[in-house]
Structure 1
Amino acid sequence: MNVSIGVIIALYLLVATCLVLLSDKASVYVDLLDKKTTLSGAFIGGVMLSAVTSLPELFTSISSALLLDKPGLAMGNILGSNLFNLVILSILVPLFLTTFTKVNIAKSHFMVGLFTWLIFGALALNYTGILDLSLASISLTSVVIIVLYVCGIRCLSQEESSFEDGDDQNPLTVQQVLLRFVVVAVGIVTLSICITYLTDDIATTFNLGNGLAGALFLGIATSLPELASSIVLFRMGNYNIAIGNIIGSCIFNFMILGFTDVLYLGHGIYDFSDPKTINLLFFGAIATPLFLLMTRYNKKSVCIATSVGIIACYLAFLVV
């Protein structure tokens, strides 16, 4: 049955909206777990919250590769999501510049950002053929990505908690919060798979490349949870959790590539056939060190300059 492109786009917008609402709800439950445990804000944002808001990237990437057999769509999704995540931070930081520059940014965020940058390097080596090697049908690039992700998690887990007991007034128990979280996560998974198929229909109808379609339709739609949760966290002044969510999502997204490569059974997830994918890799590799400068030296001049630079990278990707 043929469905008009107008209906497909309307469904896409509906699914994307529901995805944001569910992910926002999941963020609330993760925040409750933060208040009911002694885990650090860096760990909460960089691991727990980022894993929740990155569920769309996880299942859309798996669906793109395994169900649609379009690894290029998965590559565009991950690289596009990461660049868009940094743009989110670059828009919010100038809006909250006065208070943001007064906060001590956790050192672990810088380290996770550094590991993320190294992953960009590994992908670049894969593209040039230097790291395009396989070990038991698993790309050596995937092994590097997973190792660097584990290193990032270790850095975040070593951060000490700054939360003080007594501020949690919510009557829900930890078990009740976890149950609600699981229900919301199932909804996120379902919508993520739906939006993959809708994106494929849009890309086919408008004759878009997999890299461009993945970056615009999948990359932005699956980054909406990060956008919604980051806005809330910035308004609350929880900058460390917000930054952890952004950079944690970026490195988690790369881990998704490695995981998908394993499931793809040696077919090769690292597809650079679309020029837009190469552009995403290039501009993402430039934007990530700007993030490092922003978190290492969160002074007004540095924050403004790096924010402008990251936004310029995204705009350049759209134009080039």
Structure 2
Amino acid sequence: MIYIQYFLLAAATVFFSVKLASYVDMLDRKTDLSGAFIGGVMLAAVTSLPELFTSMTAVFVLDKPSLVQGNVMGSNIFNLSILGVLMIFAHKKFMKAKVAKSNSSSLLFGILMYGCAIAALNLNSDINIMGFHVDIFTIALIVIYAISVKMMNDDDSGDSDENADIALSVQQIVLRFVVFAILLVGASIILTQVSDQLTEELQLGSTVGGAIFLGVATSLPELSASVSLVRMNNFNASIGNIVGSCVFNFMILCFADILYTGSGIYMYDREAIIFAGCGIVASLITYFGLKYKKSSLFVYLAGVGIVIMYVVSIILSI
């Protein structure tokens, strides 16, 4: 029965997230915001809501910070593997796509954020700010994310010239967005509890369980949205969604660290280090895949390399 609940909740998460992504896309075409910002910040934040709320539930309901670490690190490398698969099967179209420069910059910022997360997992560097015990690397993560958002907001290099009429008004779009966001939050909270039960039943560590069950299930929105965007030949928004989600996911660690009243959100964990290390390598491969995307063969090989790193991360962590 637990397996049926898991898959039903995962399906509901995908449906709600795809609906939310469509409303964000409508807002994109009704505003003057840059495409890089829409895909890398707004859409990325929407499709990362499951990671955010499942992680908050893991911390404040289940009191398992290691589940958060596995969720964030596992979701990030799974997100990149989605892009890797798209690069493999659409490498010829990918090489011709118009992609914002800030997507590559975000990957580099993501690598810096991986470094901060690894340092936080290995060092006890808490400081007291207005009564809150916060890790110094949490502050570094917030600063890096703010810089990356600013760059995406100023980047219109990948914007499309296409514009379509939207029947709904901005108010109608926002109302529907809020409704589906609430549904997504509810499904995400229940999904965390079911994933924890499934992890215990299969006798997996909480970090590995978070990376496999939570990491995959909560990344399904990125998968669904990205595949749909590629089918519409909107590679810029697809890439921005995936890369932006990876960067935004690090903010989940920050939220948890600031609000958690326990001994601290960061703790050394072998599996988390493995996922982070493989995530850095996958990010570098993705970066060079974007930089040299004029070569169809290079894009294909980069996609294969990204998927291999995801498989390696799972094998080494079990």
Shorter-chain TM-score bucket reads over 0.9
Residue type at the aligned position of 2:286: F
Residue 3 of structure 1 corresponds to which residue in structure 2?
A: none
Once the 2 structures are TM-superposed, how far is the Cα of residue 306 of structure 1 from its aligned partner?
1.6
1:135 aligns with 2:127: yes
The letter of the residue matching 2:136 is L
Structure 1 residue 266: deviation in Å? Answer: 5.5
Q: Does 1:203 align with 2:195?
A: no
Structure 2: how far apart are the matches of 1:290 and 1:164?
30
Distance (whole Å) between structure 2 residues aligned to residue 317 and residue 183 of structure 1: 36
Aligned counterparts, 1:265-276, within 5 A: 265=261, 267-273=263-269, 275-276=270-271
**SS of corresponding position for 1:135:** strand
**Runs of 4+ residues deviating >3 angstroms:** 161-165
In the aligned structure 2, how far is the partner of 1:297 from the partner of 1:19? Answer: 35
Q: Distance in 2 between matches of 1:145 and 1:180?
A: 32
Structure 2 segments unaligned to the other structure (5+ residues): none
The corresponding residue for 1:295 is 290
Unpaired runs of 5+ residues, structure 1, are 1-6
User: What is the TM-score normalised by the length of structure 2?
Assistant: 0.94
What is the CA distance between 1:245 and its match in structure 2? 0.2
2:104 equivalent in structure 1? 110
What secondary structure sits across from 2:81 in the alignment?
Answer: helix
In structure 2, what residue type is equivalent to 1:70?
K
Q: Does 1:25 find its partner at 2:8?
A: no
2:237 corresponds to: 241
Shift of 1:211: 1.2
- Indicate the SS of the match to 1:138: strand
| Matched-pair identity in % | 42
Counterpart of 1:4?
none
CA distance in 2, matches of 1:79, 1:13: 21
Q: Does 1:67 align with 2:61?
A: yes
TM-score, normalised relative to structure 1: 0.94
Structure 1 residues 288, 164: closer, same or farther in 2, change over 3 A? closer
Aligned residues of 2:122 and 2:267 also touching (Cα < 8 A):
no
Counterpart residue type for residue 101 of structure 2: K
1:107 partner amino acid: K
Aligned residues: 310
Q: Name the SS for the 2:167 alignment partner.
A: coil
RMSD of the TM alignment (CA)?
Answer: 1.4
The Cα shift of 1:28 comes to 0.8
Task: Give the letter for the 1:77 counterpart.
Answer: N
Shift of 1:302: 2.3
1:217 corresponds to: 213
Q: Within 1, Cα distance between the matches of 2:122 and 2:252?
A: 21
Q: In 2, Cα distance between the equivalents of 1:301 and 1:258?
A: 38
Give the Cα separation in 2 of the matches to 1:288 and 1:164: 29
Contact 2:98 2:235 in 1 (8 A): no
Structure 2: how far apart are the matches of 1:115 and 1:16? Answer: 30
Query: Is 1:41 matched with 2:35?
Result: yes
Shift of 1:163: 4.7
**Structure 2 CA distance, aligned partners of 1:8 and 1:151?**
42
Aligned partner of residue 50 in structure 2, secondary structure: helix
Structure 1 residue 217 displacement after superposition: 0.5
Deviation at 1:267, TM superposition (A): 2.5
Q: How does 1:48-87 map to 2 (within 5 A)?
A: 48-87=42-81
Contact kept? 2:122, 2:268, Cα under 8 Å: no
The one-letter code of the counterpart of 1:64 is A
Superposition deviation, residue 204 in structure 1: 1.4
Q: Distance in 2 between matches of 1:303 and 1:272?
A: 35
Matched-pair contact (CA < 8 Å) for 2:100–2:156 = no
> Is the CA contact (8 Å cut-off) linking 1:72 and 1:272 kept in structure 2?
no
After superposition, give the CA deviation of every residue in 1:260-280 in whole Å (9 maximum; x if it has no partner).
Answer: 11011362112333x322211
Q: Quick one: which of 276, 280, 301 aligns to 2:275?
A: 280
